[in-house]
Structure formats: structure tokens, C-alpha cells
Amino acid sequence: MKYRFLVLLLVVFNHGYFAQDKEQTSCMSAKCHASMADVKYLHGPFAVKECNACHVPIKDQKHKFEEIKKPSDLCMNCHEPLQMKKVVHGPLKTGSCTACHSPHGSNQQFMLKKSQLSEMCMSCHKKEMFDRKNVHPPVMDGDCTVCHEPHSSDNEKLLVKAGNSLCYTCHTDFESGFANSKFIHKPASEKCTNCHDVHSSDFESMTLKETKELCYKCHAQIKQTVADAASKHSAVDEGKKCANCHSPHFSDVPKLLKKEPLDLCVSCHNDQLTTRNASLTNFSLLLQNNKDWHGPIQEKDCSGCHGVHGGKTDFRLLNKSYPNEFYTSYAKQKYELCFGCHQPTLAQDSITATLTNFRDGDKNLHFLHVNKRVKGRTCRACHETHASKREKHIREAVPFGKWQLPVNFEKNKDGGKCTPGCHAPKEYKRTLPHLD
């Protein structure tokens, strides 16, 4: 309103001059600059054909005007100086108002020069920043000013809001996620731009780097574990990589896991997965059909035995040694895995009344089967590792070539009995020496 009033004044004061100056009134005649007015938004003084407010005719020269050296000085003749905040945009410092605004009018609101705002910005800023494979939707829409002030701002990089609060104006679920989750990834609650480019990126989800490289920047320990692993887990390398299992932002599960550890593992190990040389157990079915779960699995802790980022041994991502074969010569250190939680003495002495319940009188049957110089049976000959139908995790059957030999283990108060395919029915009793 203020401006309109000003223009009105100008028009009134100049009226006499206008009437006499034919040249001035003819500026917009059909022959001359009429097409300049064929735009949607006309600048106030231009609309009322007040050309002289800015163009000063050179005395005694026909249709010659003084050169406009600094357009911004003109602007301040009518507009109050813009209130400049702490950070001032480059072109504003040099008074280049007309880098963005047409002094006459244009088809855009505020007389902006280009129909696509971003095109205008990119006439000075490098296109590459906005032109990589994945582009942030507001940038795609050319909407630079949802995030940047065009003139000046109190925030660095001319941002309309400081820090993550800018992002939360649209990503409201993140603001509530950080407020309501039990576990928060510090670098994310602190600064989204620790990991994301905000304009565009060659990587999925607009990250600054490929996911693993991104995480390794701060998690050198995990980088080392993965590099040193004797057996590799493809979950770390495929798909979303680290983000297959971890939320990079927040979670209600410790270690920022996307699900409870066991559910997480089973979410992939549900169908028949295959490694290079074997197809893997369907854990969803296994755990459903075998209700007697091994202790650590009752705790839902698969990483008690497996190195999820990569195994220290070359077998099944195990972090401690466990024989790969069905038969092997006995050595305590071959069973570091089991003996990490169970007493190694269970297979140490041939005679015992205490070290194991798998004994016939005082004859240690663990020793008998396992502790041999050749062809000692490994634990898997009798025990299931993860879950079983029978007590003591005794397996239903043992593989013999392609044949599954049933074991038919039955436990009783004083011992047990099996009727395996490999030898005649055998029974053991702890209280009475059992002779056969």
C-alpha cells in the first residue's frame, strides 16, 4: 500500500511533464516497447508507465537515457532498504537486485526473472549439486526457497531454519521418532547432514557415501571386524548393507537394531537361503517345529555364537572353533564354542560320577563317543545346536549318506535309551553299573 501511495504521488507531481513529453507517452506504443507489458505481473511504476522514475532522459538527445549503473540504488528510492540479517546473500551484497527481479515485470510473482526458481538460482550456482542420480523432491520441484531465504537469514547457508528443525518441517516422523524412541543414533539426532546430501546424491537415500563407507567413517572397529572375518556374511554386503539390520536413526531395540535380534535373523533366514555350497536351514520352520530351544536361543541371542558382521572362524560365521566334520580326532580346543559355556570336563575323563549325566554307572559316555584319537563323534552326532523336539537337544536322526538314521532317544529318570539305526538298542543307567 505504501508503494502504491508513493507511485500515486510521483504520478501527480509529474503529470504536467508527462502531458508535454510525447516521447515518454509513446514508449509503450504499438511500434515500440509495448510487448514489455505482455506479462502477468507488472512492476508498480512500470504499470503506470512511469518510465522516468528509473530512466533519466539525457538532455537534448532524442530517445537517449542515462545508463543505469547501480539498479539497487534505484530500488531504494521507493522501497525501504531490505532488513538484512546476519548472513547476506552474495548478489545482495553487491546490490544486484536485477539478477533475480525484472525491473519491469514478468510472468512470475515478485517479478522474478525465470519461471523456474531453481533455474534462476542455477544461473549462478553449479548445476552438478542438484543433478545427481537421486534428487530430493523439493529440489526436483525447483523449490529452493522452502529451505533458503533469497535475501538474507540469521542462519548459515541462508537457511530458513537452523539444523535438523529445517528437516522436521516436512519429515515430522523423524522429530517424533527421536523424541519417543528408546535408542537414538547420536550423529542423526545432532545433524542430518552428517550422512545426507540435501540436494541430490549418487547413492540410495541421498547418502553422502555408499552405506558401508558411510558407517566405517565413524565405526572403525566394525570395519576391522568385517575386514578380518574368516567367514563372511552376505547380509553385510547385499541390499541395504548395514541398514539391513540397523536403523541409522532411532530404534526401540538396543544397538539400533530394526527388530529383536532373533526376529531380525529369522526375517532373512526364513526361506531356503543358499551359500555357495549348501542350502541353509529355514529357521522360521525350525524354531516353530522344535519347541525345546537351546539356552542362548531362549535368550534370543544368536550372536552368542555367530559373528553377525563376520565370523572369526571359517565355519558358519562362528566366533569360536567348532569342528566342521561329523567325525574328528578329539582335542579340547576344537570345541571352544561349546566349552565357552559348558564344562570341558564333560568329555575329559573316561570314569566319572559327576562330570556328566551321559554315563553308564561311572563310565563317561561323552568320553567314549567324543574323546577318540580317530573318528571321535562331534557334538552334532547326537545334539541339535539350535532347537530340538527331544530333551537335552538330542536329535531325531543322524545323516548317513542320503539316509536319515532315526535315533529314537528316550530319557528317563536314571538315564536314557536309544534305538539307533547304527547299532542295537542301547541303554544307560547312572545308579547301577549297566553291563551289556
Interface with ligand HEC in residues 158-217 (CB under 6 A): 158-159, 164, 166-167, 169-171, 174, 185-188, 192-196, 198-199, 205-207, 211-212, 214-215, 217
Q: Does 398 bind ligand HEC (CB under 6 A)?
A: no
Q: Does 268 bind ligand HEC (CB under 6 A)?
A: yes
Neighbours of 53 (CB within 10 A): 20
Distances (CA, A) of 318 to 211, 222, 241, 325: 25, 16, 20, 14
Pick the binder of ligand HEC from 132, 151, 389, 434 (CB under 6 A).
151
Pick the binder of ligand HEC from 114, 132, 312, 342 (CB under 6 A).
342
Pick the binder of ligand HEC from 105, 235, 310, 321 (CB under 6 A).
235
Q: Which helix (H) or strand (E) holds 180?
A: helix 172-180
At 365, phi and psi to the nearest 5?
-80, -20
Q: Does 275 bind ligand HEC (CB under 6 A)?
A: yes
Burial class (CB in 10 A: 0-12, 13-18, 19+), 342: middle
Which residues in 13-72 contact ligand HEC (CB under 6 A)? Answer: 27-28, 33, 43-46, 49-51, 53-55, 68, 71-72
Pick the binder of ligand HEC from 106, 226, 229, 360 (CB under 6 A).
226
CB–CB of 387/294 below 8 Å? yes
Distances (CA, A) of 218 to 193, 221, 367: 14, 9, 48
**Least spacing, CB of residue 60 vs ligand HEC, in Å:** 20
Q: Which is nearer to ligand HEC, 16 or 190 (CB)?
A: 190
Long-range contacts of 25-33 (CB under 8 A, 24+ apart): 25/49, 27/51
Stretch that binds ligand HEC, among 13-21, 56-64, 231-239, 419-427 (CB under 6 A): 231-239
Q: Does 395 bind ligand HEC (CB under 6 A)?
A: no
CB–CB of 141/168 below 8 Å? no
Q: Does 255 bind ligand HEC (CB under 6 A)?
A: yes
The position carrying cell 567348532 is: 322
Q: Does 273 bind ligand HEC (CB under 6 A)?
A: yes
Q: Does 229 bind ligand HEC (CB under 6 A)?
A: no
